Amino acid sequence: MKSRPAPSNHVEPPVVVLTGAGVSTPSGIPDFRSPNGIWKRFDPKEFTIDRFHADPARFWERRKALTLETRILDAEPNDAHHAIARAVQEGRVATVVTQNIDGLHIRAGTPEEALIEVHGNVHRSRCMDCRGSQSTRDLIDALVPGEAPRCGCGGLLRPDVVLFGEPVTELERSARAVADARTLVVAGSSLSVWPVAGLVESACSQGAEVVLVNRDPTPFDGRVAHILRGPVEEELSRLFA
């Protein structure tokens, strides 16, 4: 077992935090890729960009079912989100990069300018034509079966998240933040999905101190400075006390 990291006020700045699904599971949001994850109940092929273009009405019917099943729009931040937000507000963490689309970092108080949501935000939907933003909750509440939701301008509305088959547009910005970090804290991520896992590869290659906070082993366990196996909300609360 690796040693426990020093308290965050002894971790060398600048510090970047990278979060995955495990940070939000204590808030009641199921993860996607575990043996009991959401992809065991839904087919990921229903949520590709090609499926959206081919049949947007069907896509939105399945998207509504997925959203209601995960209860993602009603989730509340947990102690992990609050600990990270405090560390950002106090200047101890420079940037938070999240794979999560639940918006809980913002709700916990992480400033938007310090947050990179690499997969987007489920609370927003946007127009394919005018790029205007709308509330996903309002859109889902008003969804008519068999009809694709449209903007006031007539354009199709889509979730403001990265769909399967689309590039991760915020990856370059995330890579710049990690390149500047002396310490990278990775919390609640299996690090099995690329290209985001490549950020940890880069940090390790650059000699940054990497702290993994995850309940299960990851492909990077043998390369990092510290590993914490406890509940993510408890470990982050201690780390950023």
82 is catalytic: no
Order of all β-strands in the sheet with 133-135: 133-135, 120-127, 157-161
Q: Which residue of the set 81, 105, 119, 123 is catalytic? A: 119
Q: For residue 124, which amino acid is it? A: R
Tokens found for residue 9: 């006020």
Tokens found for residue 213: 């906070």
* Residues 95/17, Cβ–Cβ less than 8 Å: yes
CA-based nearest residue to 137, from 123, 152, 157, 120: 123
* Active-site annotation, residues: 119
